[in-house]
Amino acid sequence: MRVKILILTNLFPTPWDPQRSPFNRQQFERLGQRHDVEVLAAVPFQERFTRAYSHVEIPGLRTGHFVFVYPPRVGRALHASCWLACLLLQHGRRLRDEHYDCLLASWAYPDAVAVSRLAKRMGIPYAVKVHGSDLNEQANDPPRRRKIRTALHGAGAVIAVSQALADKAVSIGAEASRVHTLYNGVDGERFMPGSRSDARARLQLPATARLMLYVGNLKQAKGCIDLLEALPALLVEQPDARLIYVGDGPCRELLSQRCAALGLQQHVELRGAIPHAALGDWFRAADLLCLPSHNEGVPNVVLEAMACGIPVVATRVGGIPEVVPGYAGILVAPRETSALAAALREACQRDWDSKRIALHGGSFRWDDNIDRLDTILQSVATESPAFDTGAMA
């Protein structure tokens, strides 16, 4: 059965952030091959008026955006109301005439909270997809936790990217029978093993240096500073080691300053954001991927690196332990620089089985993911919505 789905989220490419959330782009694009899918992305007002515009077009999807205006720094309890008000002011009349079969919110707060209220207004069912810090951090605040609980409890399905996150959703108030663990997938045509020397030649990287790769947002919670602080201890044993950061974010300047203070300029590069389609060579060129996040769901870069046969050094948080077996990486506690440095040293000395790692990473297939997502959303779309009386709270 073909259904009409409206996806509402802040995690999707926009004209002001075209590289945002490639995992959602890949998933929703594939879902659009089976159903009539429209995606509306929430764009924070600061981003809308401070970043350059670039055209974004995704085959098979109707896409759009709305500008999300909210009180900065204070008034976070009002964000869901602001989110919904902005959406309705900019798209409300059209949305009422579209006759969607179901809504999907991808992010718990404020997105899912606002979507739960929108679904009640429209009289249609909704599902919620949760990713990591939207529950692990946002739900730690009591007022927000209550709103998130109501949104999860009223959802026809809650889709979690890890079992740890699924358990968290149930503990907050989601009905266990409606919670599904659905790991993201890997594009097997882009992320596969290949020649390290050829990849380095294409990227103009040193042929013999020990190369560690960080891919992701440059922010404190991703552990990018922790990784830099761990590097000097590794250089004692691996003086040719190089650390390359692929990504951008608020910590970029701090990383540059700290790198200079530690005298690491010859060993560290900040390459900036790179299109998702070009990441395959970066993984194949690396000796290992390093992602010492403080909290996570299941980062797709971990799955993609393993699919390329690259081992992972990461933190034992969120769903990472569920997807990184001992033969594919080393996990440490977050925020422990000495343990991270020891793990990097061990990883550089260990003889990894790249074929086994690639076989494991490649087992996370988008086709399997979409099959299950398709089944879940069709089930939600065919159910009568049962709205909690507290949904408008």
At 386, the pLDDT band (50, 70, 90 cuts) reads low
Residue 391 is predicted with a pLDDT of 38
Residue 389 is predicted with a pLDDT of 38
Dihedral, 112, 117, 118, 120 alpha carbons, nearest 10: 130
At 72, the pLDDT band (50, 70, 90 cuts) reads confident
Query: What domains, with CATH codes, occur in the chain?
Result: 4-185+367-381 (3.40.50.2000), 196-363 (3.40.50.2000)
Residue predicted with more confidence, 191 or 59: 191
Q: Directed axis angle between helix 113-122 and helix 79-96, to 10°? A: 30
The region that residue 132 occupies, defined by phi over 0 for left and psi between -120 and 50 for alpha, beta otherwise, is: left
Span 281-295, average pLDDT: 97
Stated pTM of the model? 0.93
At 390, the pLDDT band (50, 70, 90 cuts) reads very low
Residue 352 is predicted with a pLDDT of 98
Q: State phi, psi for 315 to the nearest 5 degrees.
A: -100, 155
317-366 pLDDT, tens per residue? 999 999 999 999 999 999 999 999 999 999 999 999 999 999 999 999 99
At 252, the pLDDT band (50, 70, 90 cuts) reads very high
Span 15-23, average pLDDT: 94
Percent of the chain beyond pLDDT 90? 91
At 55, the pLDDT band (50, 70, 90 cuts) reads confident
